Amino acid sequence: MRVHTRIGPLISSIFSLNLNMMVNALFLFNLISAFFLDSTLYTPHTDHALIATDFSRPIVDCVTEDFLYVATDDYIYKIEPAGLKITDKTPLPLRFNYLAIGQSEVILLSSNEIVILDRQNLGFKSGIGIERGDHQPIVKDQSILGSAQGRQFYLLSDGGANSILKVIDMRTGKIVRKMTMERVKCIVYDEYTETFAAVDIKNDLSIFDMLLRRTKKITLGFTVMTFTVHPEGFYIYSDQGIFLISRNGGIIDFQPTPDQQGHCGFFVLTKTGIALLDATVLRPYQWVENRYTISRLVAESNPAYGIGTDTDNNFYLIQADPIAVIPINEQRRLPEGALDWPMRIDSLWYLQLGAFAHHHNAVRAHETMRAEGVPVIIDSTDMYRIKFGGFSDKSTALDLAERMRLKGWFVYEPKLPISKPEVFYVNDQRYAIINGIVQKE
């Protein structure tokens, strides 16, 4: 068993014990607490900032990669992480439970549907019906799955006393493969071995291949809160501390973390503050006071940022340098030009208000909406879709949809042929549709 020699004789002696003895060595707890709060290897310094959001609705889910993507009950936001500037947003016509991202997609998941948005402009691309259930994505960043990610989606579902792992065909919504196991506490994708690793309620670690076939099972022997992937194995977060174990279950390193309440990557939440661990030697070297009573850290794929929420569902971004707290309420309006990204010459924005398999149902919806003063059209390219538009810029489309209280999916697609011009009014403001484009008069 390898031990970092820089840890010192106290921790080295702990490693000489077997695993069960180590986690039960409670008589060392006070000594270990002092080590974590005042490390002899690093002097903790407040080099981190908490940046607070002021969303009007509670956060449902979020994921980070190039941008921070945040889903609330009725909107999805695309946020530049360093300054928490909202660069794009799209209203959601229904509530979704989980959020994930792919190579070029944002993926929304409800109990019976997967919806795909364009990652560049948050425009609607497609929807896929799935078997109803309590589903959540196994992998929040689907792009790390390689070529298979565009065709398959991996889900974890609640099966009562057990958990069900499923592979969904993204083209049809059908289940390609599923397997049942002990109720899962946490599951991650191991990009180093291209496998899945899951810890169940019995604190056993199971390894699965991409077809969800179990290839290994390891009994850990201590309580697991959650875990993440490391090049040499896994970081296991327990109520005793953080273990670094090999993929065969051997202990490589250990960091006691008394009063730990959660983690996000290498950010560790305690009762009094948030510490950042050094990934090389697993020791705290930066720390910030938890002035905002953050109660939960959300694990994310970007190691440069931590995400937290308080008991009121306010949302925080934890970042390094400079030290500052920047409320987003002063920046909540989209900055000028935020939605101005390279547009295709032949495409416009449309608000899709309905999609029907049968023509007579589409005609009925079309007539109802036109009677209410909404100049919709029927697009019969594939199904019969009721659309309002087109708009040359997304800002105008968002503004009119909010003022007219219309709910639907925003789509960015080739311009639809509209032969005759027409006029409509919104709060005494006159608009015209000329050559298929909505214009304010």
In a shared domain, residues 225 and 366: no
Q: What is the residue whose two structure tokens read 């699965």? A: 208
Residue 192 near residue 199, CB atoms below 8 Å: no
Start-to-end CA distance of the chain, whole Å, equals 76
Q: What is the residue whose two structure tokens read 């208000």? A: 353
Q: Within 79-207, where are the H helices?
A: none
Closest by CA to 82, choosing from 46, 51, 122, is 51
Which residue positions in the chain have pLDDT lower than 50? 1-49, 51-52, 54, 149, 322-338
List, as one string, the DSSP characters of 244-271: EEETTS-EEEEEE-TT--EEETTEEE-S
How high is the pLDDT of residue 325?
Answer: 32
Tally of domains within the chain: 2
Beta strands 195-200 and 184-190 are: antiparallel
Structure tokens at 168: 């969904």
Report yes or no on 19 lying in a domain.
Answer: no
- Letter string b/e over residues 368-402, b meaning 16 or more CB atoms within 10 A of that residue's CB: ebeeeebbbbbbeeeebbbbbbbbeebebbbebbe
Give the CATH number of the domain where residue 394 resides: 3.30.70.1070
Residue 365 near residue 91, CB atoms below 8 Å: no
| SS3 label, residue 89 | strand
How high is the pLDDT of residue 40?
Answer: 33
- Exposed/middle/buried for 175, CB within 10 Å: 0-12, 13-18, 19+? middle
In a shared domain, residues 157 and 252: yes
Residue 67 near residue 81, CB atoms below 8 Å: yes
How high is the pLDDT of residue 96?
Answer: 93
Bridge partners (DSSP) of residue 247 are none
pTM > 0.95: yes or no: no
In a shared domain, residues 258 and 351: no
| SS3 label, residue 292 | coil
Q: What is the residue whose two structure tokens read 């929040």? A: 140
Question: At 347, which helix (H) or strand (E)?
Answer: strand 347-356
Report yes or no on 32 lying in a domain.
Answer: no
How high is the pLDDT of residue 323?
Answer: 30
Closest by CA to 195, choosing from 182, 207, 180, is 207
Average pLDDT, the chain: 77
In a shared domain, residues 362 and 258: no
Last residue of a domain, which of 231, 247, 264? 264
In a shared domain, residues 364 and 221: no
Q: Which residues contact 358 (CB under 8 A, 6 or more apart)?
A: 384
Closest by CA to 379, choosing from 405, 399, 353, is 353
Report yes or no on 342 lying in a domain.
Answer: no
Provide the residue range defining the domain that includes 389: 347-440
